[in-house]
A = this chain, B = another copy of it.
Amino acid sequence: MSEFRRDPIVGDWVIIAPERARRPQDYEQLALRTNGAACPFCEGNEQYTPPEIYAVRRSGSSPNGPGWLVRVVPNRFPALRVEHELTARPYAMFDLLGGVGAHEVIIETPEHVRSFASLPEQQIRQIVRVYHQRLVDLAQDTRLAQAVIFKNVGHAAGASLRHSHSQLIATPFVPPRLARELRGAEHYYRDRGRCVYCDIAYEEAQRDERVVVDLPQILAYCPYASRFPFEVWLQPKEHTSHFEDSGEVLLEELATALKIVLRKLDTVLEEPAFNFVLHSGPFRTGPLAHYHWHLEIMPRLSGVAGFELGSDVFINPVPPETAAAFLREAEIEVVANGIHHHRRNLPADALGLPRGPQHNS
């Protein structure tokens, strides 16, 4: 059973999850070593995952059998479990909390496809709708304060299974990074009466230096203080604090923007390892005037080394203006069944960027 432990100095919570140490021996290595035949995420292999929580299914198909388009299951080696009790207690001078929460895997396609960006736009829309559904559903559990949806692609980004999937972790407290965003955004709002994310979108659209994709409802840009080379943030242009409150058209446009941006990253950086994280307002606060949901894409060309871990200051060798220029220029061709891209000049070479994790001496 896992538990949350609180650092007595900075106050951050850590998840101690002994169950997860077992992972590499069985399940995960199995899938890594196979070409998909024994992949637990492939259609027909439903028995290799825990029973499904939710699925988009063709009519007439049965739960935990074939016939699905997107499937959500508990992580087989969960960091947290919904079955745990929310026990909080002191432990000597320390704080301890039972590992209650949710740790879900969103299997994004029944086929053994590795690249999220290569999925048909229609499929990405389904996935985005499933993200939405999971947040709406988990927000009902009053023990949970917040959920983070995230994606790990490639070894350098912490991925182990190749089959396209993302994950969701819901916690009984607002995670520190979200809490800092909320505090900072609230502070900005108190000073100026405006949402900081709305101001950023306005500023970026005006300057046009760091914009990557500008759709009617979604803006994608390289943030001014990008921590990672080619970091891209996507956000609704209109103020919306909670992903759960997003309408169908906005979700569809997010799917389009995600596909375009990830395709452009694949073109420019030759299919880099990357993470993305979806940040939305905490559950059950109602709409917030100061917060704004957004999705952060972090290509993992650079390793996170000692200075970053020890200072929380990131060193980024690529100015976001340069990254945005390359991404804007990257030609991708939208065709009926997805997007095909033409390779052009490879800025990884032009910029002197390594492929694979970067070194930090």
Does A8 touch B at the CB level, under 8 Å?
yes
Contact B361 A16 (CB under 8 A): no
The answer to whether residues A17 and B79 also contact, given A158-B306, A158-B360, A277-B309 and a CB cut-off of 8 A, is: no
Contact B316 A17 (CB under 8 A): yes
The interface-forming segment of A161-169, A281-289, A336-344 is: A161-169
Contact B177 A361 (CB under 8 A): no
17 contacts between A and B (CB under 8 A): A9-B196, A12-B312, A14-B226, A14-B227, A14-B313, A15-B315, A17-B315, A93-B200, A152-B360, A160-B360, A167-B307, A171-B313, A176-B313, A180-B312, A276-B306, A277-B307, A298-B309
| Chain B nearest CB, measured from A316 CB (Å) | 6
Instruction: Compute how far the CA of A308 lies from the CA of B150 in the bound complex, rounded to whole angstroms.
Output: 10
Contact A181 B9 (CB under 8 A): yes
Interface residues of A in 192-214 (CB under 8 A from B): 196-197, 199-200, 203, 207
Does A108 touch B at the CB level, under 8 Å?
no
The interface-forming segment of A125-133, A249-257, A326-334, A346-354 is: A346-354
Contact B305 A152 (CB under 8 A): yes
Does A148 touch B at the CB level, under 8 Å?
yes
From B16, B175, B305, B351, contact of A312 by CB (8 A) = B175
Nearest 6 pairs of A and B residues by beta carbon: A158-B305, A160-B359, A277-B310, A150-B306, A275-B306, A175-B311
- CB-CB under 8 A from A312, the residues of chain B are 12, 175-177, 180
Interface residues of A in 165-192 (CB under 8 A from B): 165, 167, 169, 171, 175-178, 180-181, 184-185, 188
Chain B residue at smallest Cβ distance from A279:
B310
- CB-CB under 8 A from A207, the residues of chain B are 92
* Interface size of A in residues (CB-CB distance below 8 Å): 100
Does A47 touch B at the CB level, under 8 Å?
no
The answer to whether residues A313 and B93 also contact, given A160-B361, A188-B8 and a CB cut-off of 8 A, is: no
Chain B residue at smallest Cβ distance from A357:
B155
Contact B12 A200 (CB under 8 A): no
- CB-CB under 8 A from A185, the residues of chain B are 9
Does A54 touch B at the CB level, under 8 Å?
no
Does A224 touch B at the CB level, under 8 Å?
yes
| Chain B nearest CB, measured from A187 CB (Å) | 9
The interface-forming segment of A23-31, A60-68, A112-120, A258-266 is: A23-31
Type the 1/0 row for A1-44, where 1 means its CB is closer than 8 Å to any CB of B. Answer: 00001111111111111111111110010000000000000000
| Chain B nearest CB, measured from A295 CB (Å) | 10
* Apart from the given pairs A11-B184, A160-B360, A175-B312, 20 other A-B contacts in the complex at a CB distance below 8 Å: A11-B180, A12-B312, A15-B314, A16-B316, A16-B319, A17-B316, A20-B315, A21-B317, A21-B353, A28-B361, A93-B203, A94-B224, A94-B225, A150-B310, A158-B308, A158-B359, A165-B361, A167-B306, A175-B311, A180-B312
- CB-CB under 8 A from A324, the residues of chain B are none
